[in-house]
Chains A and B, each alone.
Chain A
Amino acid sequence: RKEVEQDPGPFNVPEGATVAFNCTYSNSASQSFFWYRQDCRKEPKLLMSVYSSGNEDGRFTAQLNRASQYISLLIRDSKLSDSATYLCVVNDYKLSFGAGTTVTVRA
Chain B
Amino acid sequence: EADIYQTPRYLVIGTGKKITLECSQTMGHDKMYWYQQDPGMELHLIHYSYGVNSTEKGDLSSESTVSRIRTEHFPLTLESARPSHTSQYLCASSEDTQYFGPGTRLTVL
Footprint of B on A, CB under 8 Å? 32, 34, 41-46, 49, 87, 89, 91, 94-95, 97-100
A-B contact pairs, 10 of them (CB 8 A): A34-B97, A34-B98, A42-B103, A43-B100, A43-B103, A44-B90, A91-B96, A97-B42, A99-B41, A99-B42
Asked whether, in the complex, the Cβ of A43 is within 8 Å of the Cβ of B97, the reply is no
Residue of B nearest to A44 (CB): B100
Asked whether, in the complex, the Cβ of B39 is within 8 Å of the Cβ of A95, the reply is no
Please indicate the chain B residues that have their CB under 8 angstroms from the CB of A89 in the complex. Answer: 98
Within 8 A of A (CB), among B10-48: 33, 39, 41-43, 45, 48
Asked whether, in the complex, the Cβ of A45 is within 8 Å of the Cβ of B100, the reply is yes
Number of interface residues of B (CB under 8 A): 19
Asked whether, in the complex, the Cβ of B99 is within 8 Å of the Cβ of A46, the reply is yes
Q: A64 vs B96: C-alpha distance in the bound complex, in angstroms?
A: 18
Q: A95 vs B88: C-alpha distance in the bound complex, in angstroms?
A: 19
- Extra inter-chain contacts (14) besides given A34-B98, A44-B90, A49-B97, CB under 8 Å: A34-B97, A41-B88, A41-B105, A43-B90, A43-B103, A44-B100, A46-B97, A46-B98, A87-B43, A89-B98, A94-B45, A94-B48, A97-B42, A97-B43
Residue of B nearest to A85 (CB): B40
In the assembled complex, how far is the CB of residue A32 from the closest CB belonging to chain B, in whole angstroms?
6
Within 8 A of A (CB), among B85-108: 88, 90, 94, 96-103, 105
Residue of A nearest to B41 (CB): A99
Residue of B nearest to A98 (CB): B42
In the assembled complex, how far is the CB of residue B45 from the closest CB belonging to chain A, in whole angstroms?
8
Please indicate the chain B residues that have their CB under 8 angstroms from the CB of A100 in the complex. Answer: 42
Interface core residue of A44, A46, A99 (most chain B CB under 10 Å): A44
Q: A68 vs B96: C-alpha distance in the bound complex, in angstroms?
A: 24
Asked whether, in the complex, the Cβ of A44 is within 8 Å of the Cβ of B43, the reply is yes
